[in-house]
Structure 1
Amino acid sequence: MSLLKEKIIGSAMQIFSQKGYAATSIQDIANDCGIAKGSLYKFFASKEDLLVEVYRSRTQVMFEESDRIKSNPELSPREKFVLQTHRQFEFFLEFKYSIKDFYELPMKEDGAFSKFLQQMRSQMLVNFAELMISVYGPEIEKHKWDLIALYTGILKEYMIMITLISSPFNYARMANFVVDRMDEMVAGIKKSTHEPILDAEVMSQFVARGMKGCHAPAGEQLHATLTKLMSSIEELQVTNARKSELHEAAHLLQEAAADESPRMVLVRALLGLLQSQHELVAIASQLERLYESKHTKLLT
């Protein structure tokens, strides 16, 4: 990377942090670098492209630090987990405007920044998946995506509080506390007979698409979830009459999915029938969100 390009990225990082993305102009950054605006455009076609590069440079530091921790032979898997959690807190504190001003950032579905976020999210999910298996063993493979959802949810809430509260936090203590809670949840999940909420095949497709910087089409998500519903019904320990009833509901939902304008009254009734079978509540809720999303798009 050229020295001038590094200078532009460093200037953008500082000014975005001070003024916010929306209030910062390309001219502000060019003035700070002591160059003409046209010279800046030789490196970055737009302010959004520059924002992507700012985020990419910071997240690259995070991933490199994660790799160093993972490759340290002196640390146990759990010690690596604690240290990586600690670094997550420090990283977001150093770059906290990314949370505080997140809602003003450009989030068009096909925009450069949105695609970058999808790639970054997928890379983090892959890293977390490897981390969970290394710490808790292959026996949690089936539930790893649920554990990652719980872990990242905890991190997110603490990070938001860090940005809002000015009092100092002990990040090492927080990291140990979070990992202790993960230990307890893993122990509980290992004893549980419940099926995972997040389907492994669907999550793998989600991550793969994210790596390419694209969303899974809504129709594809709906088809995959309906396929999962069919296989889940087959595994139920219920009477043949009950299974036949559930199968019929699933087939009618498939027909509704193929319809450009599904009858939502019928769809909701069928989903209600599925939710009356407790093993299908989670997947029926996923289907409800997908059908409602499809219906909303038709109205707009």
Structure 2
Amino acid sequence: MNDKKTQIVQAAIKLFGERDYHTTSVQDIVSLAGVSKGAFYLHFHSKEELLVHIFNHYMESYRSYLEEILQDPSLSARERLFKSIEYQCEAFIKDKDFIAMQLKGITFLNKALQDLMIDHSNQNVIWFDQRIIELYGSEIRPHSFDCANLFNGMIKEFYFCHIVFGHPIEGGQLAEYLMNRLDDVIYGILSKPTVPILSKAVILSDRSSETTRESLIERALTTKGWIESHVEAPMVMCTMLQSLDVIVQEANKEEPNDIIIKGMVNYLISLAEGDSDIIAVFNKSFGCARIC
């Protein structure tokens, strides 16, 4: 992000955390950021798009780190899981205002943001599930999803205590404590025959089978944030962002034209020039380009 965009994002996080999303105006944000309204609208169409960008930026940073440690052959299964918790703890503890935003229910302002956060939470649990099987072996597989959710819940509760009650927490210490508690959970389950509670198939069922006007717009805005972070060629990035703007404009119409939307999605894929990572993002965001 350029300097002005970074200033806008940081000011918004602070104000949304300290005050409230609804009572914070664009003027409040630009005043704290020390930029003009023109600079704001150069980067974001609305306060809602800014909010989506903030969440998407944090989630992408976390996912990138997980991928990085997953590709490190020098790390053991336990070290990978430990480092993921340590990173998450330290990042979230450092950015209290961001967590405060979530505690105030900002993520549930609309269905699109709710879907974004649920998708992130699901991906996080899936990652824990995979690491638990990798660390403890196939014997825990029938219970790994229960364990992953228990583990995820423990982590969130410590964040809650830190943010709400101001309880001091150190990332490495908490990560080590949680890893030991995970051992207790895993070996406790293995030593006492029990029936799994949660069904991965039910909880992680495809939530994107229908595309509504709101979800399509949200996917486009989320994809814009991803493009800005991952597409290096300036002209390609600019053209992709313009194409996404067309999708948003069409979806906002009283009677959106599915052909135009589908055409723009195909154009976006062509701009990827065979880059499988970019194409995968477009397919995931616009797999169903028809508004149901």
TM-score, normalised to structure 2, is: 0.63
**Aligned equivalent of 2:120:** 120
Change (3 A) 1:175 1:46: same
- TM-superposed CA distance for 1:147, in Å, is 0.3
1:90-124 CA distance string (max 9 Å, x none): 122122234434234252452x3222212212221
**Aligned equivalent of 1:103:** 104
Looking at structure 2, the residues matched to 127 and 200 of structure 1 have their Cα atoms a distance apart, in angstroms, of 13
Secondary structure at 2:52 match in 1:
helix
Looking at structure 2, the residues matched to 171 and 117 of structure 1 have their Cα atoms a distance apart, in angstroms, of 23
**Aligned equivalent of 2:134:** 134
What does residue range 226-265 of structure 1 map to in structure 2 within 5 Å?
A: none
- TM-superposed CA distance for 1:211, in Å, is 10
**Aligned equivalent of 1:194:** 194
- TM-superposed CA distance for 1:70, in Å, is 2.2
Q: Which residue identity is paired with 1:149?
A: N
What does residue range 46-57 of structure 1 map to in structure 2 within 5 Å?
A: 46-57=46-57
Looking at structure 2, the residues matched to 192 and 210 of structure 1 have their Cα atoms a distance apart, in angstroms, of 38
Structure with more contact order per residue of length (Cα contacts < 8 Å, sep ≥ 6) = 2
**Aligned equivalent of 1:44:** 44
- TM-superposed CA distance for 1:167, in Å, is 5.0
Aligned length: 211
Q: Which residue identity is paired with 2:134?
A: S
- TM-superposed CA distance for 1:165, in Å, is 3.7
Question: Is the Cα contact below 8 Å between 1:89 and 1:171 reproduced in 2?
Answer: yes
- TM-superposed CA distance for 1:159, in Å, is 0.9
| Range that drifts further, 132-141 or 96-105 | 96-105
1:132-172 CA distance string (max 9 Å, x none): 22212222221111001110111111111111344533332
Pair 1:157-2:161 in alignment: no
**Aligned equivalent of 1:243:** none
Question: Is the Cα contact below 8 Å between 2:30 and 2:36 reproduced in 1?
Answer: yes
Change (3 A) 1:71 1:3: same
Q: Which runs of 5+ in 2 are unaligned?
A: 213-292
Question: Is the Cα contact below 8 Å between 1:9 and 1:50 reproduced in 2?
Answer: yes
Question: Is the Cα contact below 8 Å between 1:22 and 1:105 reproduced in 2?
Answer: no
The sequence identity of aligned pairs, in percent, is 27
**Aligned equivalent of 1:176:** 176
Looking at structure 2, the residues matched to 72 and 116 of structure 1 have their Cα atoms a distance apart, in angstroms, of 28
1:40-62 CA distance string (max 9 Å, x none): 33433332221111121122222
Pair 1:62-2:62 in alignment: yes
Change (3 A) 1:166 1:125: closer
Question: Is the Cα contact below 8 Å between 1:143 and 1:196 reproduced in 2?
Answer: yes
